[in-house]
Structure 1
Amino acid sequence: MTAGASRARLADLGVGPGAFPRGAHNAITDVPGIHVGHSTVHTDRLHTGVTAVVPTGLGANRRWLPAGLAVGNGFGKLVGATQLQELGMIETPILLTSTLSVYRVADALLGHMLARPGYEATTTLNPVVGETNDGFLSDIRSRPLGETHVEAALAASATGAVDEGSVGAGAGTVALGFKGGIGTSSRSVPVGDERHTVGALVQSNFSGTLTIAGVAMPAHDLVPGPDAATAGNSCMIVVATDAPLDARQLARCARRAVFALRGVGSDFAQGSGDYAIAFSVGTGAVPDDSGLSPLFHATMDAVEEALVNSILAATTQAHADGNVAYEIPLPVVRARLAAAGVTP
């Protein structure tokens, strides 16, 4: 769902952006040429899906984009990670999905790319597909996702506002004791003598104690039952920018994205697979490292807000066997932020 009348984003609660302004949609799609699409499955036994982050300029005429990877904890199945790290580039859209469906999704993405015009002679290609485990709310062993869902997510990809919460790869995830999901945010930031955009999209599914703008929001205080308190075991973060960074600089940016997890209360549990991929669609001269501090700061702010948005926008989901992940109650969140002086 898109956060609407019944749900809210962090900005809707009156929390400011920090040092740098939000983009027009406050989404990764504020970076020029970035589209996002979802394919979502909700039944009594399945809450799962695919989310696609699509750089539209990637194709037969531009086969790769510079990229960097940061691994906060490597307990995950990030397909394509070693080549991404070795060569510092992505060759395909980045897809997010459920742990045991990741290989079927990767195969479907590969098939999609090989069928594109200009790829007729291609004999090597590195699909990039990340995952988190949605088994608390979904029959993960059925591995229900594949070509149909990949093609649907890619076909649905668009610029503008991004659906958040219990959609796509976030349909069945749990974060910090609440229903988690997909979240996004962006910032406009100076890099050297020019202004650029950095945007983040997250798939939140990790444990810890939620903190919003420095205010603790423990799940045991806000939702019934302990069911989801320790569920959730990973996080995927995708960062895009139009600043013309090289792969080494993007890896530095990705590391800052992982740091942002602690800002919302992640406990970085041993079984958590925490990954960040940062890539650039920019062209032109690579900026000097001395001018990157604002971009690093903006990246952390955007990722932290995206993580919060993923929880604020998510809606309660239940599995037929009894597991329930509850949406965070927004009136209580508003009251606690106001009581702490964060909002009027």
Structure 2
Amino acid sequence: MEKGKWNAITDVEGVSVGHVTLDRPGDGDDYFCTGVTAILPHGGNWFEEKPAAASFVLNGFGKTAGLVQVEELGVLESPIMLTNTFSVGAVLEGTLQYMLDENPAIGDSTSSLNIVVGECNDSYLNSMRKMAVRPDDAVRAIREASGGELAQGAVGAGKGMICYGAKGGIGSSSRIVEAGSRTFTVGTLVLTNFGRGHECRFPGWIPPEEPAPETPVAEEEKRPDGSVIIVVATDAPLDARQLKRIARRAAIGLGRTGTHIHNGSGDIIIAFSNGLLTRHGGDEMTVTREIIKDDHPVMNDLFEAAIASTEEAILQSLLNAETTTGRKGRVVRKAEFR
């Protein structure tokens, strides 16, 4: 399928992405190798104009915030924020403060607010226990978000992540779907931190050197099973139920890369559409909105676009990441291909 101009989630009109990357030594063997990534669903007020949204949990070993309400009401009210496991609270706090500053009515004359935060465990390279990410980092990631060309690899939340034993992190891709006189875009952004080197099925992949499965590894040197957060965006007018169907297809794109989803892996997919917005509040009892018919052939094309963009986004996270040194002098090398 045709790719968007930037081959990134930012090809979906209105979507922007911001990164804050922490890359500095701490005390002793500590090193801060982590960050925050903010995905802004459109250029307006996200609380006042809520994009349709859904999530799909492929394996639930994860510590996300906000997905319960997304599942119940089928909308987003905030940016989607990504960080490391122990920084979910700080990122939620910073994002909440940003939203409260932008919307004085929240929690006062109108309802409360649902912040969505996803995470992966970067403790092999990052001194995660020190919780170096602070609320201000989340605010800065939101404020610095932009459209267009997207920084990928070992940046933002992806700074300390490992994918298939090589350096992973942030990856993105997009596909264009044409249906008669209409054109829609599907864009995916991933935070990759999963898999063992021998599992990867990308053509030309050279597995990194790693201990054989039966080889004892010191407890402190063991790497977490890992996780992946997949965010699928589209401007096609899809409701929450249809977006959950899109999210499930993204899992196929993940599976195509080779992973069999480890026991301790958090594999979570969030899908949203800024082509179907719900205005906050109002006195009207009903709303009339344009939604794609389930039985229209374009649905199959949207499914294919979600699968293809997810698979390539994972590849892009490997291609764009650089060899990274983290805590205790540990090194994770850039992926190699023949």
> Which TM-score band applies after superposition, normalised by the shorter structure?
0.7 to 0.9
Contact 1:60 1:117 in 2 (8 A): no
Distance 2:78 2:145 in 1: 14
Mapping 1:98-137, distance limit 5 Å: 98-117=84-103, 119-120=105-106, 121-137=109-125
Which segments of 5 or more consecutive residues in structure 1 lack a partner in the other structure?
Answer: 1-19, 337-344
Counterpart check, 1:286 vs 2:279: no
Mapping 1:1-344, distance limit 5 Å: 20-44=1-25, 45-59=31-45, 62-117=48-103, 119-120=105-106, 121-191=109-179, 194-208=182-196, 209-212=199-202, 214-220=203-209, 231=224, 233-283=226-276, 285-290=290-295, 291=297, 292-329=299-336, 333=337, 336=338
Contact 1:207 1:229 in 2 (8 A): no
Superposition deviation, residue 322 in structure 1 = 3.0
Residue 106 of structure 1 aligns to a residue in which SS? Answer: helix
Distance 1:326 1:250 in 2: 36
Which segments of 5 or more consecutive residues in structure 2 lack a partner in the other structure?
Answer: 26-30, 211-216, 277-288
**C-alpha distance 275-61 of structure 1, shift in aligned 2 (>3 A):** closer
Superposition deviation, residue 60 in structure 1 = 6.8
**C-alpha distance 42-248 of structure 1, shift in aligned 2 (>3 A):** same
Distance 1:215 1:60 in 2: 42
Contact 2:47 2:77 in 1 (8 A): no
**C-alpha distance 230-137 of structure 1, shift in aligned 2 (>3 A):** closer
**C-alpha distance 294-321 of structure 1, shift in aligned 2 (>3 A):** same
2:285 is matched with none
Distance 2:314 2:127 in 1: 25
Distance 1:23 1:119 in 2: 38
Contact 1:165 1:183 in 2 (8 A): yes
**C-alpha distance 75-191 of structure 1, shift in aligned 2 (>3 A):** farther
Superposition deviation, residue 190 in structure 1 = 2.7
Distance 2:317 2:186 in 1: 18
Residue 40 of structure 2 aligns to a residue in which SS? Answer: strand
Q: CA RMSD in A?
A: 2.0
Superposition deviation, residue 172 in structure 1 = 0.2
Superposition deviation, residue 279 in structure 1 = 0.3
Using the TM superposition, name which of 173-182 and 103-112 deviates more. Answer: 103-112
**Matched positions, count:** 307
TM score, norm. by length of structure 2: 0.86
Distance 1:247 1:203 in 2: 22
Residue 315 of structure 2 aligns to a residue in which SS? Answer: helix
**C-alpha distance 205-191 of structure 1, shift in aligned 2 (>3 A):** farther
**C-alpha distance 210-60 of structure 1, shift in aligned 2 (>3 A):** closer
Contact 1:257 1:299 in 2 (8 A): yes
* Identity, % of aligned positions: 41
